[in-house]
Chains A and B, each alone.
Chain A
């Protein structure tokens, strides 16, 4: 699924999901083009602020995490909250936070999808 991102978050190698146009409707960069280091500057010059890129290029949880890391993040949250989830909604809230904090972990602690589990 394509996502809208700010040009401040553009990274080299991202793929456009929609052509980028200036305010006159002229195409600056075609659909499926690959972003390089010069593009953000050009977009800025033309007043383009947001861009549609293919989702797999946006920083999302592309990695799985080893179970001990997940468990320690979860326990850290429970210690911080000082309550343990009992209702399904509470569990959902906690798991949402676990996911969010796992994404913020440095890349080295993640195990890339598809690789063998190293524990």
Chain B
């Protein structure tokens, strides 16, 4: 039985599809839906830039969450939105562990091929290290 769903949302179309998919599943199972966005900290964190980055990231996601809340409201689903700081994969896994999440939905990653090759992709890491089931959602999903 799925009781708690986590959607990792980074503002991309892919992660929006994951969110819509999450809404469908949440409705079906009457599960709680949490949306987590991660403000990435540039490495190594630098004086002034780090705080600037975090504040701007926080504002950016707060704006995006308004749209998600609206979407969820139209579908009669209550969602919980959260912002974490750090490396996306690490924070998603930590959040899932801490909040006893049953399933994580992620959008598939297509952009930034060089960075992904160098650092590894977020979905790869989450799939391999998450404490629960992970589903990668293709970006052609739309809520019905």
Partners in one complex: no
